[in-house]
């Protein structure tokens, strides 16, 4: 399918390693980026104050990350203050995630969807001096990862769940939360404890799995809840499912259609006793009916991943999975 193929071809897909101190990782990440990093033109004094408050929160709970910002600023040749907005930006996205228990162990994956104007799509093997090594996607927000797997076999991804509150309380942005979990948590127990306590500023769902367990944390600044597997299946799109969380982000047509399509594929995967369960998941992520694999701006699928936490393996498809192949770019 060639819908918006040219937009995909123009995107900045890269695969590389970043290792060492967080300062060095920030410097290398900036070195790999183009120079258009989006300075805060036209930002009000109020927004600047909010960004500074968010930076202070990050410095309190994740000081390594403010060090990475310093390295990024040096690598990009800009003043560190020009990166303040990276602490505050909230995005919605239209992603779809699934975890299923198979005879070979948990299998988890997701499609990431967004607007074509976001051009940077970097797959990075990160080995920090402090924290766990991890493989994950970076889309331009300093320090951020949108999904990934760490050396302990912990998988994390986020899904949008409504607009950024305005006004909002200062907190960690979603992309830094994913990175925090990958670097600091060895299993779902530690990740759940973090997600229930970290200061947040925006609504998101987080799909988290290890070799034996899986959960979705539905997180809003006003309330949080955890969903476990329903039998052998756990699904997430872009609305909240927990009864107590539904008022904060109700189902909307596209999100509901993708959720129900995932239910259909989950039934096929869990009912498939022999053969390649990952192949059925790849088939799901190529779906154009719901669609799980989208090409409409705002719901365009930029990449897909499938992970085997027990085996500490993750396979990425860089581009829409209907026309690109999954590869294991890195191994622990």
Q: What are the boundaries of each domain within the chain? A: 19-87
Residues 6+ apart with CB under 8 A from 105: 211, 308, 309, 310, 311
pLDDT in tens, 114-124: 998 888 999 99
Question: What gap in Å lies between CA 311 and CA 66, rounded to an integer?
Answer: 32
CA separation for the pair 275, 310 (Å, rounded):
18
Question: What are the beta bridge partners of residue 200?
Answer: 172
Give residue-wise pLDDT tens across range 256-269: 999 999 999 999 99
With a cut of 70, say whether residue 249 has pLDDT above it.
Answer: yes
220 vs 214: CA distance, rounded Å:
20
Rounded to two decimals, what is the model's pTM? 0.96
DSSP letter at 322?
Answer: T
Pairing of strands 12-20, 120-128: parallel
Q: Indicate whether 166 pLDDT > 80.
A: no
Query: Helices 253-270 and 277-285 meet at what angle, rounded to 10?
Result: 160
Asked whether residue 317 carries a pLDDT value surpassing 90, the answer given is: yes
The percentage of residues in the chain with a pLDDT greater than 70, rounded to a whole number, is 96
Backbone angles phi, psi at 67, to 5 degrees: -65, -40
Residue 39: pLDDT over 60: no
pLDDT higher than threshold 80 for residue 90: no
Exposed, middle or buried, 187 (CB in 10 Å: 0-12/13-18/19+)? middle
């Amino acid at each position: 399918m060639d819908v918006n193929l040219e937009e995909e071809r123009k995107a900045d897909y890269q695969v590389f390693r970043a290792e060492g101190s967080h300062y060095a990782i920030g410097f290398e990440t900036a070195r790999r980026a183009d120079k258009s990093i989006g300075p805060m033109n036209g930002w009000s004094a109020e927004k600047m104050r909010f960004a500074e408050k968010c930076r202070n929160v990050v410095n309190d709970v994740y000081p390594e990350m403010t060090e990475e910002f310093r390295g990024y600023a040096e690598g990009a040749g800009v003043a560190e203050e020009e990166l303040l907005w990276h602490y505050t930006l909230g995005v919605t996205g239209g992603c779809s995630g699934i975890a299923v228990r198979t005879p070979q162990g948990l299998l988890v994956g997701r499609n990431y969807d967004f607007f074509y104007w976001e051009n940077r799509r970097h797959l990075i093997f990160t080995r920090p001096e402090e924290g766990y090594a991890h493989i994950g996607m970076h889309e331009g927000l300093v320090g951020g990862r949108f999904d990934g797997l760490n050396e302990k076999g912990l998988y994390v991804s986020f899904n949008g769940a409504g607009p950024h509150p305005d006004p909002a309380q200062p907190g960690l942005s979603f992309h830094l939360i994913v990175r925090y979990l990958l670097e600091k948590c060895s299993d779902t127990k530690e990740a759940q404890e973090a997600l229930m306590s970290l200061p947040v500023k925006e609504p998101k769902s987080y799909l988290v799995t290890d070799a034996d367990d899986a959960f979705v944390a539905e997180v809003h600044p006003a309330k949080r809840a955890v969903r476990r597997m329903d039998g052998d299946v756990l699904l997430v799109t872009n609305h909240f499912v927990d009864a107590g969380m539904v008022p904060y982000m109700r189902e909307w047509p596209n999100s509901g259609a993708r959720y129900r399509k995932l239910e259909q594929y989950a039934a096929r995967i869990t009912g498939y006793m022999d053969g390649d369960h990952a192949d059925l998941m790849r088939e799901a992520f190529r779906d154009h009916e719901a669609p799980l694999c989208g090409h409409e701006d705002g719901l365009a699928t930029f990449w897909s991943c499938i992970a085997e936490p027990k085996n500490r393996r993750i396979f990425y498809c860089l581009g829409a999975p209907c026309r690109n192949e999954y590869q294991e770019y890195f191994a622990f």
